[in-house]
Amino acid sequence: MNIKDLFNLKGKTAIVTGGGRGLGEQIALAYAEAGANVVVCSRNVDACEEVSERLEKLGVRSLALQCNVSSYDDIQNVVQKTVEEFGTIDILVNNSGASWVAPALEMEIDKWDRIMDINLKGVFLFSQAVGKVMVKQGSGKIINVASITGFGGQDPKITDSISYSTSKGAVINFTKDLAVKLAPYNVHVNAIAPGFFPTKMTKAGLDYVGEKILERTPAGRFGSDFDMKGPALFLASKASDYVFGHVLAVDGGTIAQVI
C-alpha cells in the first residue's frame, strides 16, 4: 500500500472530545487535513462551533456538540447524532481532561471525584459507547490522551496534582486492558502521553515552573501547535493497523531519561 494511502483519512469519521481548544483542537485539525469528517465536543459548545467552522473550510463535514464527558446521557447523545449524521464512527479521541493542584494530604474529596469523573470515567463511558459501534462494524481506532505524569510519581515542586497523575496512570492501564479485549474485533485502542504543551489548562503552571520543566526536557522546548498532529494521525490511520495497546509519549524526551 502506498504510504500516502496509509495516512489518508478520507471518508472516515472522528469524534474528538475536548475539541474546542488546546490539544483537542490540534488533533481535530490534523484529522480534517487528512480528509476525515470530525465531530468536536466539549462543555464549551461555542468554542467547538468555532473549531468546526475552521474544519469545514478544509472541505470536510463537521459537527459541534455540547458534552460533559462524565454524563452518560451526553455521551449517548453525541454517539447517536454522529451515527445519524455520518453513518458510522471510525475514530474516537478521548482528549477531555481537567486538573486540580493541591498537596496530596490536603486534596479535597469533591475535587478528587471531579478529576476522576472527567479524566477516567469519561474515557470509560465514551470508549464503551463508541466501542459497541466499532465492534459491530468490525473496525475502529480509539485513542486515549493520557500524560507522562501517569508513568510515575511527580516532584511536587513541578506537578503537585496527585488526582491528575493518578487518573492518567489509570488511563494508561485502561488503554492496555481494553486493547487486549477489543483487538479480536479489529478495534485498536492506543494512547498518547503528552509532555508539556502550552494550553489553557497548563498556562498557569508553565508560567510558574516552566523554566524548571525545560531544564528536565532533553529537547529544550515545550510542545508546539503541530507536534501532536503526526502522532495522532498515525494512531488514527491504517499506518498503525498492527499497533494495539501502545502508549506513545510525545514529550521531547522527558521520560527517556534515567534521572
Indicate which CATH number applies to the domain containing 184: 3.40.50.720
221 grid coordinates? 522546548
CB-based contacts of 224: which residues, under 8 Å, 6+ apart? 197
What per-residue confidence (pLDDT) applies to 186? Answer: 98
Asked, for residue 90, whether it belongs to a domain, the answer is yes
17 grid coordinates? 472530545
More confident residue, 58 or 155: 58
Provide mean pLDDT across the span 6-32. Answer: 97
What per-residue confidence (pLDDT) applies to 128? Answer: 98
Sheet of strand 247-250: strand arrangement: 62-66, 37-42, 13-17, 91-94, 140-145, 187-194, 247-250
Asked, for residue 215, whether it belongs to a domain, the answer is yes
Which range among 31-35, 84-88, 155-159, 201-205 shows the weakest confidence by mean pLDDT?
201-205
Residue pLDDT, tens place only, 180-227: 999 999 999 999 999 989 877 666 677 768 888 899 999 999 999 999
Provide mean pLDDT across the span 23-36. Answer: 98
Provide mean pLDDT across the span 65-80. Answer: 98
Residue pLDDT, tens place only, 101-146: 999 999 999 999 999 999 999 999 999 999 999 999 999 999 999 9
Asked, for residue 259, whether it belongs to a domain, the answer is no
With residue 132 as reference, give the H or E element that holds it.
Answer: helix 122-137
d(CA 120, CA 108) in angstroms, rounded, equals: 18
Whole-number percent of the chain with pLDDT over 70: 97
Asked, for residue 140, whether it belongs to a domain, the answer is yes
Inter-residue contact 141 to 127 (CB < 8 Å): no
Provide mean pLDDT across the span 158-167. Answer: 93
Q: What angle do CA 96, 101, 104 make, to 5 degrees?
A: 115
CA distances from 223 to 31, 208, 246 (A): 19, 17, 20
Residue pLDDT, tens place only, 54-64: 999 999 999 99
What per-residue confidence (pLDDT) applies to 211? Answer: 84
CB-based contacts of 34: which residues, under 8 Å, 6+ apart? 7, 8, 9, 10, 233, 236, 237
Catalytic site includes residue 164:
yes
Whole-model pTM?
Answer: 0.95
Inter-residue contact 218 to 241 (CB < 8 Å): no
Number of domain units in the chain: 1
**What is the chain's mean pLDDT, rounded?**
95
What per-residue confidence (pLDDT) applies to 208? Answer: 67
d(CA 90, CA 210) in angstroms, rounded, equals: 37
Confidence band (pLDDT; 50, 70, 90) for 13? Answer: very high
The pairing of beta strand 91-94 with beta strand 187-194: unpaired
CA distances from 79 to 85, 127, 182, 206 (A): 10, 11, 19, 35
Asked, for residue 257, whether it belongs to a domain, the answer is no
CA distances from 15 to 11, 28, 48, 52 (A): 14, 8, 12, 12
Asked, for residue 255, whether it belongs to a domain, the answer is no
CA distances from 84 to 34, 79, 143, 167, 225 (A): 22, 9, 22, 32, 32
What per-residue confidence (pLDDT) applies to 199? Answer: 75
What per-residue confidence (pLDDT) applies to 154? Answer: 87
Type of residue found at 205: G
Asked, for residue 254, whether it belongs to a domain, the answer is no
Whole-number percent of the chain with pLDDT over 90: 88
Asked, for residue 170, whether it belongs to a domain, the answer is yes
Give the domain range for residue 58.
3-249
From the candidates 31, 72, 164, 208, which is the catalytic residue?
164
